[in-house]
Structures are given as C-alpha cells and as structure tokens.
C-alpha cells in the first residue's frame, strides 16, 4: 500500500482540530445530558469534517507527484537501481502512461533539468 504522506499529515492535523471543537460543543450541551451532547457533537463534527476529509482524500493538488520503484532498469543508461519518474507537475501529467519510463537517480536528475528547460514547473 502506498501512503501519501501529505494527505496523511493533513488528515492527522484535521483529526487534532476536531478534538477541541467537539469538546467545546460537548461542554456547551452538557446540561442536556451526556448522550445527547455526544450525539449532537458528533453530528456537528460529521457535517463539518465530511467536507474537509473529502478535500483531503480527493484533491488533485495533494496527489503524489513522483513515482518511485525499486530495482528498475533505467530507460536511459540501463543501470538496475531505484527508479524515479515525474508523474505530474502543473500541466505536465503522465499519470496514465501505459509504459511509464523510470530512470536511475542520476538520469532522473538530468531529465528533470531537461523538463525545467522546456518550461515544466517542478514542485
């Protein structure tokens, strides 16, 4: 399973942000009883954080930009090594390539400079 660390980090921050909000709602509604306060706080949390979670897990701006694989054969030099390829950056999108081209670290750096020279913004 691949983990997008940017998405995961934002999700953890969102999780932490929900705690004081829901605790505050629970405190304000405590006079209605613990069960009612918990139910209302969770409903409010669901109404708010559904949209936040949807953004975190579906936003293309948080998508993985690089693909990395172990033990590939570099398409440029033929060396067997960890392989890299730029999948997406701005208008450059190779996420649906049927035959993705992976390069060793040295050749990947050269290709990155070539793409920058062609105007591709590498984030």
The verdict on 81 and 113 lying in the same domain is yes
If one counts the domains in the chain, the total is 2
For residue range 39-94, list pLDDT tens digits in order: 999 999 999 999 999 998 888 776 657 889 999 999 999 999 999 998 887 677 88
Contact 32, 17 (CB under 8 A): no
Alpha-carbon Rg for the chain in angstroms: 22
Range of the domain at 9: 5-61
The verdict on 71 and 46 lying in the same domain is no
Other C-beta atoms closer than 10 Å to the C-beta of 14 total 15
pLDDT of 1 strictly over 80: no
Contact 72, 83 (CB under 8 A): yes
Percentages of the chain per state (helix, strand, coil), in multiples of 5: 55, 15, 30
The verdict on 35 and 56 lying in the same domain is yes
The verdict on 75 and 112 lying in the same domain is yes
The verdict on 107 and 81 lying in the same domain is yes
pTM of the model: 0.51
The verdict on 69 and 57 lying in the same domain is no
Q: Is 61 helix (H, G, I), strand (E, B) or coil?
A: helix
In a domain? residue 108: yes
């Amino acid at each position: 399973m691949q983990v997008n660390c940017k998405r995961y980090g934002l999700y953890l921050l969102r999780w932490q942000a929900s705690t004081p909000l829901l605790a505050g709602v629970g405190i304000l509604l405590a006079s209605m009883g613990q069960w009612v306060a918990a139910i209302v706080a969770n409903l409010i949390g669901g109404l708010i954080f559904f949209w936040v979670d949807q953004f975190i897990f579906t936003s293309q701006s948080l998508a993985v930009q690089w693909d990395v694989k172990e033990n590939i054969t570099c398409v440029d030099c033929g060396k067997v090594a960890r392989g890299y390829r730029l999948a997406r950056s701005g208008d450059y999108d190779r996420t649906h390539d049927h035959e993705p081209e992976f390069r060793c670290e040295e050749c990947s750096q050269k290709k990155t400079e070539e793409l920058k020279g062609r105007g591709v913004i590498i984030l």
